Chains A and B, each alone.
Chain A
Amino acid sequence: MKNKKDLSGAVRAGQARLSPRDYRRDKGFAGFLAKELDMEAAPAAYHKALRRAYAELPRDMPVRHYPLRAALKSLATVAVLMLVLGASLLGVNQAYPQLTENLPGLGMVFKAINGTTDDGLPAPPPLAKTATGTSRGKGRQARAMPVFDPVEIRDPQGLGTLTVDNAWSDGRQVFLDVSLWVPADTLATLLEGKVEETELPTALEFSQDPDTSRAIAIADASPPPPDANDSLDSLPGSARVQVNGRSPVSIQSITLQGSPYIHGYPDCLALVQQDIQERDTGDGKTETCAHYTATWVLDVPIQPSDGQDISISLDLSSVWASYPSSRYSEAELPLIFTGDLAVKIDTGSAITIETPAEDNHYTLENVSCTPGQFSASIQAPHSGYYGYSLLPLEYASVPPRYKPYGMYAVLADKDGTVLAQTLWDGTDPQPDSSGQLIYPLHFSALMKPLDREKLVLTFYQFDPEDLESWASYGGTAPGEAALNPVMAQFTIDLAEATAAPSYTYQEAGLTKLSVEDCQKGPHHPDFENGLYVQSIDEGSDVNGRRTWLISLLAQEAQLPSIENWELLCTSQGQPVQTLPACPVADESAYNAFLPDDPEILVLETEAGYFWRLEQGQQAYEDGDYVHLFFLVRQPDAMALEGLSFELVDTSNGQTLIEDVQAAFLRNLTSTLTGAFRTADDANSNVTTD
């Protein structure tokens, strides 16, 4: 291992001299800057000007042209003609087999089709296929993937070791299972003064960024030329990978979390920290190392045939230490790995399953699988939208009205390790022949290449990404409660090449919702006193003062008494302040505009704001609600511990919502687990299998 003195030289070879601490992002400074630059909000005239610009745009957008698509269309036309010709000949063959069998060139083909042997006698009929039922798919089986001997590449200064633990290729892509070991104290020394984080980096990226000197050359022109982006995009990177002597068209890094590495730039060679553990140094000693892993997937520029070798050349330098949770903290490290390896092409590990499998109106078809890739087509029924669930708007990655249920497929191995997940791709449902709305989905995933026995593909009601946000916000970690109902599940047996419905989700305490049930509303707990707490969000204003934004849905019947409502804030059981509401339809009852949006009228008091939001009503399709907001400001004297909010009607002293925070958590958990359904509903609607 290099000593500290040697390492400081290596550090000097690096680039970073400025500490990220000096330009870190923080809300306070951003708020201050926005205020001083007079950019907190755009004036109404600006928004109006843009409305005018939108109105003047042509009705139709220009669409990208695809020369390749046009070529494929021509090819498809030729293919259709060939098919028609072939079908006609097949028809003739049925009626006059002797005629088609004597056609020059094609005669042998028809002889084979008709099973005519050289002696002129018909061949025996094929054995009948085993009946698998409509819910099970079956296809061609695979052989085991070839064995790969690991290749170890050491940094010339002894700063770390990169190992290609496994490699596999189907001739189109090469999969490299890579691990990187760097002594923890070496890494800490290299990072000293470069980043403000005290932990070791959670990811490392071999940068393919444009060459800095070229960027500077472009920058000599001020303002930069309009095509500066294009020029920069075409510049070579500093990390080089070659496959059969050529640069791969695309590079992807798959992390152990089963998803492509998308922090920063997806076309980088990234590694994610797996753990920190003792490692044998080879001389009978051990040292504490940071262990990073990933699967790199490289396109093969020229496709050789089965059994041939593919040569890989790695010339990796300019490693960036990265902290995805605070993506602006990064530092360049002087690690260098140079080496070559060969991978044998294997096309025999692939399986295909032609017969469709069906579960709960979900149809799985066209399954193809290799040790490193899974793909399938799915016909998924339309089961409704998030909007039916009254989930908080700001925690869904897509506005709830447009986000459908049941589109969220997770691929796992038989032990439950998630290999990949796919999200709704934005396509709209199409009516099938019976008028039912169907989403044609395609699931395609790259995986760490392994010989696996089984894969499990599960479709969930909610997007797992959203669920994680909701669950952490609501104080319920995934796993603590049975969150996210299942819509369909298939197990793909790779040894038998079959696909069939399965029920492993029950082991996790999850239930399955029938599509018919999901298509019915409502999908949330009942309103209490005509009110529903949708969310409570803690934040801070530009001055750093704590705020709480409470989103409330109210039924029309509640509104006549709204002028008597007050939000009572208590701290440690003692009343601290009250925030009044006002008649929502009476514009004269409001006294200000919302600072962030000058078009929204609010009732402003010392304690905060109250307003009604006109937009967003259409997000909730199962009822007619009024969307109300209270924004509570933290008074100077308010203690933050033991803080609670209660909504009361001062005209009769009635408590409308006793504990706003508790009501929100109750609603959220109930919605995400499906627990709001009554026993009768559950018995009649929920498929328990």
Chain B
Amino acid sequence: MRVWMERLVKKAQNGDKDAFLQLMQEHELAMYRTAKAILHREDDVEDAAQEAVCRAFYKIGEVRKPRAFKAWLMRVVINCCYDLLRDQRGIVPLELLPEKGYTEEWDTALDVRESLSKLGENDRLILTLYYLNDLSVRDVARLLGISEGAVKQRLVHGRKRFKEAYETREQEGRAVSYEK
């Protein structure tokens, strides 16, 4: 499938609009998940995705490595989300990405929803890009401009947090197993 995608990217760069639309349709869910990880509100997600489609249309010629198209598109979506937040609130209310000494105490989560609400924006984004959008650790690191070690650390902590929350729920007989 990757080879097909790369051909579509090249075709789109050469002016094939059908190829561009196919690319967009293939990535609709990935764009949705990325935007949702940042914005939460469905209306905002729609707005950001629409803007991302428009920007991708004009900028796809700048993609130098067709195989990196998905990561590039996710970068476009993320930028659109940040721009939207800036317009709405004047600032981007995202937590800083601490690179070293990531020693925040992970309290014992009692509920998945509670755990989710405490999960930082960037952690949610990293988990989404890695587990749901299938980007590699390297791609996520490049996309967010952080080190691979930081991505791995956040994946481990994010997963651990979910796992704790999930296992607590499971003990209460409310959940299904996700660990094989």
Partners in one complex: yes
Residues of A with C-beta under 8 A to B17: 57, 59-61
Q: Which residues of B contact A58 (CB under 8 A)?
A: 57
**A17 partner residues in chain B, CB cutoff 8 A:** 149
The verdict on B70 contacting chain A, using a C-beta distance below 8 Å, is no
Instruction: Flag if B177 contacts A28 (CB, 8 Å).
Output: yes
Check A215/B141 contact, CB under 8 A, given A45-B42, A61-B17.
yes
Inside 8 A of A216's CB, which chain B residues have their CB?
99, 146-147, 150
Once the chains are docked, how many angstroms separate the CA of A28 from the CA of B159?
A: 12
Stretch at the interface among A29-37, A151-159, A339-347, A498-506: A29-37
Instruction: List residues of chain B with CB within 8 A of the CB of A218.
Output: 145
Residue of B nearest to A226 (CB): B79
A36 touches B112 (CB 8 A): yes
* Contacts of B149-179 to chain A: CB distance below 8 A: 149-150, 152-153, 155-156, 159-160, 162, 166, 176-179
B95-139 CB mask vs A (1 if < 8 Å, else 0) is: 111010000000000001100100000101001101110101110
CB-defined contacts of A41 to chain B, threshold 8 Å: 29
Q: What chain A residues lie within 8 Å of B155 (beta carbons)? A: 22-23
A39 in complex: contacting residue of B33, B61, B138, CB < 8 Å: B33
Q: Out of B116, B137, B179, name the residue touching A29 (CB < 8 Å).
A: B179
User: Which of B11, B60, B71, B178 has the most chain A CB atoms inside 10 A of its CB?
Assistant: B178
Does B78 sit at the interface, judged by CB under 8 A? yes
Q: Is the CB of B162 within 8 A of A33?
A: yes
* Closest residue of A by beta carbon distance from B156: A22
Interface size on A, residues (CB 8 A): 69
Q: Which residue of B is nearest A540, CB measured?
A: B180
With a cutoff of 8 Å between Cβ atoms, the chain B residues found around residue A57 in the complex are 17, 53-54, 57
A223–B78 Cα distance when bound, in Å, is: 9
Nearest opposing residue in chain A for B165, CB measure:
A36
Distance A650 CA – B147 CA, assembled complex (angstroms): 62
CB < 8 Å neighbour of B15 from A15, A36, A63, A328: A63
Interface string of A154-178 (1 = CB under 8 A from B): 0000000000000000000000000
- Which residue, A31, A33, A41, A232, has most C-beta atoms of chain B within 10 A? A33
Residues of B within 8 A of A32 (CB): 162, 166, 176, 178
The reply on A425 being an interface residue by CB < 8 A is yes
Closest to B32 in A: A42
Given contacts A22-B156, A39-B32, A57-B54, contact A33 B132 (CB under 8 A): yes
Return the contact of B16 from the options A15, A18, A61, A212 (Cβ within 8 A): A61
Contact call A223/B147, Cβ cutoff below 8 A: no
A39 with B50: in contact, given A32-B162, A63-B15, A544-B180 (CB under 8 Å)?
A: no
A60-B15, A222-B94, A327-B136 known; A212 vs B147 contact (CB < 8 Å) = yes
CB distance from A568 to the nearest CB of B (A): 28
The answer to whether A62 and B49 touch across the interface, beta carbons within 8 angstroms, is: no
Q: How far is the CA of A39 from the CA of B39 in the complex (A)?
A: 13
- Number of A-B pairs whose CB atoms are under 8 Å? 199
- Smallest beta-carbon distance B6→chain A, Å: 9
In the bound assembly, the distance between CA atoms of A226 and B132 in angstroms comes to 23
How many angstroms between the C-alpha atoms of A242 and B72 in the bound complex? 30
A29 to B179, CA, bound (A): 7
Contact check, B143 vs A229: say whether CB atoms are below 8 A apart: yes
Q: Is A129 an interface residue (CB 8 A)?
A: no
Interface code A42-54, partner B: CB below 8 Å = 1, 0 otherwise? Answer: 1101110110111
A198 in the interface, Cβ–Cβ < 8 Å? Answer: no
Q: Which residues in window 207-224 of A have CB below 8 A to B?
A: 209-210, 212, 215-216, 218-224
Hey, what's the 0/1 contact readout for B1-20 against A, CB within 8 Å counting as 1? 11110010011111111001
Contact yes or no, A224 B1, CB < 8 A: no
Does A115 reach chain B (CB closer than 8 Å)? no
- Are A219 and B147 interface neighbours, CB within 8 A? yes
Q: Which residues from A are CB-within-8-Å of B179?
A: 26, 28-29
Across the interface, do A47 and B28 meet the contact criterion of CB distance under 8 Å?
yes
Contact A37 B124 (CB under 8 A): yes
Question: Is the Cβ of B147 less than 8 Å from the Cβ of A215?
Answer: yes
A397 at the binding interface (Cβ < 8 Å): yes
In the complex, A224→B29 CA distance in Å? 23
- Residues of A with C-beta under 8 A to B178: 26, 28-29, 31-32, 544
A209, B138: Cβ atoms closer than 8 Å: yes
Query: Given A23-B152, A37-B116, A225-B145, is A54 in contact with B21 using a C-beta cutoff of 8 Å?
Result: yes
Q: Is the CB of A64 within 8 A of B13?
A: yes
Contact of B36 among A18, A26, A38, A219 (CB under 8 A): A38
Asked whether B132 lies within 8 Å of A62 as measured between CB atoms, the reply is no
Residues of A within 8 A of B95 (CB): 222
A46, B32: Cβ atoms closer than 8 Å: yes
Among A228, A262, A425, the most chain B Cβ lie within 10 Å of the Cβ of A228
Whether A662 sits at the interface, judged by CB under 8 Å, is no
Question: Is the CB–CB distance between A50 and B50 below 8 Å?
Answer: yes
CB A251 to nearest CB in B, in angstroms, measures 14
Complex Cα–Cα for A171 and B60 (A):
35
The residue that A222 contacts in the complex, of B1, B64, B96, B143, with Cβ under 8 A, is: B96
B7 contact set on A, CB distance < 8 A: 398, 425-426
Taking CB atoms, residues of chain A closer than 8 Å to B127 are 33, 37
Residues of B within 8 A of A30 (CB): 131-132
A477 is an interface residue with CB less than 8 A from chain B:
no
Contact in complex: B46, A61 (CB < 8 Å): no
Pick from B13, B24, B53, B145: contact of A224, CB below 8 A. Answer: B145
A423 interfacial by beta-carbon distance below 8 Å = yes
- Closest residue to B51 on the A side, CB-wise? A53
Query: What mask results when residues 219 to 262 of chain A are scored 1 for a CB within 8 Å of chain B, else 0?
Result: 11111111011011100000000000000000000000000001
Give per-residue flags for B73-101: 1 if the beta carbon is below 8 A from chain A beta carbons, else 0: 00100110010000000001011110100
- B37's partner among A22, A37, A426 (CB-CB below 8 A) is A37
CA distance A172 to B136 in the complex (A): 34
A666 in the interface (beta carbon within 8 A):
no
A425 CA to B71 CA in the complex, in Å?
23
Find out whether the CB atom of B177 lies under 8 angstroms from the CB atom of A544: yes
Question: From residue B164, how far is it (CB to closest CB) to chain A in Å?
Answer: 13
Instruction: Select A46's contact among B46, B64, B67, beta carbons within 8 Å.
Output: B46
A215 to B146, CA, bound (A): 6
A72 to chain B, nearest CB (A): 17
- Cα separation A28 to B12 with both chains bound (whole Å): 35
Cα(A18)–Cα(B113), bound, Å: 27
Known: A22-B156, A33-B132, A39-B36. A229 touches B177 (CB 8 A): no
Contacts of A210 in B (CB 8 A): 142
Collect the chain B residues with CB atoms within 8 Å of residue A219's CB. Answer: 97, 99, 144-147, 150
A-B contact pairs, 29 of them (CB 8 A): A22-B152, A26-B179, A29-B178, A30-B132, A36-B113, A37-B33, A39-B33, A42-B29, A46-B28, A46-B49, A53-B54, A57-B17, A59-B17, A61-B16, A61-B17, A61-B57, A62-B15, A62-B61, A63-B15, A220-B99, A223-B92, A225-B145, A226-B79, A228-B75, A229-B142, A229-B143, A266-B67, A328-B136, A397-B1
Q: Lowest 8 A-B CB distances belong to which pairs?
A: A224-B145, A23-B155, A28-B178, A228-B145, A42-B32, A49-B46, A64-B61, A32-B178
| New A-B contacts (7) at CB < 8 Å, excluding given A17-B149, A219-B99 | A22-B156, A26-B179, A28-B177, A53-B49, A53-B50, A228-B142, A229-B143
